[in-house]
Amino acid sequence: MTTLDQLRPGDTRTITNLRSSDLTIKLLEMGLLPGKAVQFNFKAPLGCPISVQISGYSLSLRIDEARLIEVA
Amino acid sequence: MSPKTAVAPAPVASIPSATYSIALAGNPNSGKTTLFNLLTGLNQKVGNYPGVTVDRKSGRLLLEGEASARLLDLPGTYSIYPRSNDEQVVLDVLLNRSSADYPDVVVAVADMSNLERSLLLVSQILDLGLPLVLVLNMADMAKKRGITVDTEQLSRQLGGIPVVVMNARNGQGLQELKQVLSRELQPAATPFYQVLPLAPEAIAEARQYFGCKTYYEAYLLLQHAENLHTMSPLERDQLEALGKLSKLDRPALQITETKARYARIQEVLSTVVQLPDTSSRQSVSARIDAVVTHKIGGYLLFFGVLFLMFQAIFAWATVPMDLIDSLFARLGSLLEGLLPEGVLSRLLIEGVLPGIGGIVIFVPQIALLFMLIALLEESGYMARVVFLMDKLMRKVGLNGRSVVPLISGLACAVPAIMATRGIDHWKDRLITIFVTPFMSCSARLPVYTILIALVVPDERIWGFINLQGIALMGMYLLGFVAAIGSALLMKFIIRAKKGGFLIMELPAYRWPRWGNVLYMVLEKSKVFVFEAGKIILAVSIILWVLASYGPGDRMARAEEAYRTAHADTPELEDELASLRLEHSYAGLLGKTIEPAIAPLGYDWKIGIALFTSFAAREVFVGTMATLYSVGSAADDESTIKSRLQAETNPDTGGPRFTLAVAFSLLVFYAFAMQCTSTVAVVYRETGGWKWPLIQTAYMTGLAYVSALLVYQLLS
């Protein structure tokens, strides 16, 4: 199963599932909903955090957080 | 019927009056603060919500005609479910009808170019049954992206609430918003989301028991039962029992609710919003990001920005600082001539005036530093700094959001510690608060300057590197290293219940608005003057008393004896001042602690200066001037320097201020918590005496041990 942290800059995928965690609700609130298209923008120079494009805005997430988001 | 009664006035219950209150709610980065500044102008007040360290911004809003209303700027949040103290405030205000802050009307600010995410919070507030006005802000941004919104249709879909399109940056839509707010407003006619089916019995019962306006309000009471500080314990137990009875799985319900709301929002927006064909053209922000977050360019830029901040503190700020310095000196001599001789005059001239001067002198540095920080925040760059620095900072127990407080600490720890409020993870915030006072603040600079000038030769090596400059830079590095090292230590000591997270919006780059920058500078300077200032002033006055009075007639007798013995000395008055200080309570204290500080190389005179500099570190210089009878020439740095250089150590016969003593003092001042205002602000921000006491003990302990080592190794 691919997760958001494994994508490369420019890749666009569809969110399929959020792995259950404390942060599920926070991720949902920020618009990371199953069925939504998400684009990988870039990584911070040290590899974490990352920036993604979701429903028209840029969001940054740590790698651990991106790992909770399954994409296809 | 007489004509008199026929024209009975209409009920004016909810027409704006002095007590009418409007709350401003919305996502972070939705332009809420800009709108607040636009609506209130300079008519705003920053305070605290009772019991929590969250900024409470309120102001007066002038409406049509003579009407006005109270406007409260709620902290920015993405939903009504709180994850931090800031967000908890939003819930507390909107759910507590007995609170003085409970609004008559809520104005929800939404980013028009990012409506989907903005509408989550809007729909939740709408379902609370409060009259609501929706502002679609950043209309310029939406236009640039080719987004159009059918506001009439949107209003219909949101139960008929007014929808106003605005651009708070240039005032577009302001008149319309004021017109809408001058009317009598109604809550939405229909709820956005039907919450009752989630837990029919519990919600219905809670609604009846607590007399809630809507089912959603009752549902939120159930969701947040244990966190509602505004409820009585009995009411909370009642809610808990209701929740348990119905076996409410709160997190699961929260997820169901959020997903359902988004589904409805997407459905509504599909009929209301026209999006442009998504072109693959890179946005301006993306192109700027490519540079700003570049693995080399990004850090170079960041260090360039840091350099600019240093420039601001050390070069630009000195001009107004010198001006303030000479102004207060002149004011002092002016008052001396005007006021009659007496205790009160001396208190005013020697205690109060220098105390106020010691506060005001730092305002230029603080204002300049916060102007730069405000510019960076306004432009959107600060979020990228957090992004760049997060991983590095996490390695030492801090996080990306600790960068701003640490940089602010170069000016003053008091506003810097208050700036940690942006860190929502408690452990990270605590560590940031703990280590920020190690950053070399502006009050340390005069101490460093005089001590370095005393023992480091003003020479260049290799023709261009100034030795004194290197020593000064070393002191700043030392503070930084101490901060990072202590953070690392704390990382392993403090246990956190929950891990932190960094799910953060990277806002689009924008030109900063000078108005917003100005308000932030004013706000931070005010915080410094009133928060730190009142303590500095109080401590200055206490220290003046300790330094001016001694037990019994000790002082008078010593003075008399000296006067007769040295009647023909030209600098008699200056020497008498030093003598008086020696026989004062402060002198006594200095002598009492002498055995404890002797291993560091200090005598009782330095002991006195250690005490007096508890008001603010720079007082050290003034006290040394008095102690060494520099007296009237105290403002002249070279005079103090030559006096200090001439002072001999009776035990060794050599100079008092050897390299070892000076460096020991430098290290002591770099580490010790010699600042009462910082202790006070840490007490307030951490909500108790535990942390300020641990911090003071740790810093002073570290200072003592390091100074001891430096002195023993160098002498």
Q: For B610-639, write each residue's pLDDT tens digit.
A: 888 887 788 888 777 777 755 554 455 667
**Crossing angle of the two packed helices B297-311 and B381-395, in degrees rounded to 10:** 100
Nearest to A23 among B116, B258, B501 (CB): B501
Please tell me which residue of chain A has the smallest CA distance to B111.
Answer: A57
Cβ contacts of B288 on chain A, cutoff 8 Å? none
Which amino acid is it at B627? Answer: L
ipTM of this complex prediction, to 2 decimal places: 0.95
Tell me, yes or no, if B510 comes closer than 8 A to chain A by beta carbon. no
Phi and psi at B383, nearest 5°, equal -60, -35
Peptide bond into A49 cis (omega under 30): yes
Tokens of B638: 């070279």
Please tell me which residue of chain A has the smallest CA distance to B113.
Answer: A56
Q: Are B390 and A62 in contact (CB under 8 A)?
A: yes
Neighbours of B554 (CB within 10 A): 17
Cβ contacts of B295 on chain A, cutoff 8 Å? 45
Q: Are A25 and B270 in contact (CB under 8 A)?
A: no
Please tell me which residue of chain B has the smallest CA distance to A30.
Answer: B117
Nearest chain B CA: its distance from A1 CA (Å): 22
> What are residue B461's DSSP bridge partners?
B465
Which of B84, B256, B384, B503 is most worth mutating to test chain A (most A CB atoms within 10 A of its CB)? B503
Neighbours of B227 (CB within 10 A): 12
Nearest chain A CA: its distance from B291 CA (Å): 11
Confidence band for B15, pLDDT divided at 50, 70 and 90: low
CA distance readout (Å), B424 to B259, B292, B389: 24, 25, 17
Confidence band for A5, pLDDT divided at 50, 70 and 90: very high
Confidence (pLDDT) at B1: 40
Nearest to B506 among A47, A60, A65 (CB): A60
Range(s) for CATH 3.40.50.300 in chain B? 16-191
Confidence band for B430, pLDDT divided at 50, 70 and 90: very high
Q: Are B679 and B691 in contact (CB under 8 A)?
A: no
Query: What's A38's DSSP letter?
Result: E
Residue B240: CA atoms inside 13 Å, Cβ hemisphere, count? Answer: 10
Cβ contacts of B392 on chain A, cutoff 8 Å? 46
Q: In CATH terms, is domain B16-191 a member of 3.40.50.300?
A: yes
Pairing verdict, β B44-48 and A50-54: unpaired
Residues in the annotated binding site of B: 26-33, 37, 40-41, 51-55, 73-76, 137-140
In angstroms, rounded to a whole number, what is the distance separating the alpha carbons of residues B409 and B417?
8
CATH of domain A4-71: 2.30.30.90
**Are the Cβ atoms of A30 and B114 closer than 8 angstroms?**
no
Mean local confidence (pLDDT), A59-70? 95
Q: Which of B521, B420, B405 is nearest to B46 (CA)?
A: B521
Whether B9 shows a pLDDT value over 50: the answer reads: no
**Are the Cβ atoms of B390 and A48 closer than 8 angstroms?**
yes
Mean local confidence (pLDDT), B501-513? 91
Of all residues in chain B, the percent with pLDDT exceeding 90 is 38
Q: What confidence tens digit (pLDDT) does each residue in B631-687 have?
A: 554 455 667 777 778 777 777 778 888 889 999 999 999 999 988 889 988 998 898
**Are the Cβ atoms of B120 and A29 closer than 8 angstroms?**
yes
> Between residues 243 and 272 of chain B, which touch chain A (CB distance below 8 Å)?
251, 254-255, 258-259, 262
Buried b (16+ CB within 10 A) or exposed e, B535-544: bbbebbeebb
Residues in the annotated binding site of B for Mg(2+): 37, 40-41
**Domain residue spans of chain A:** 4-71
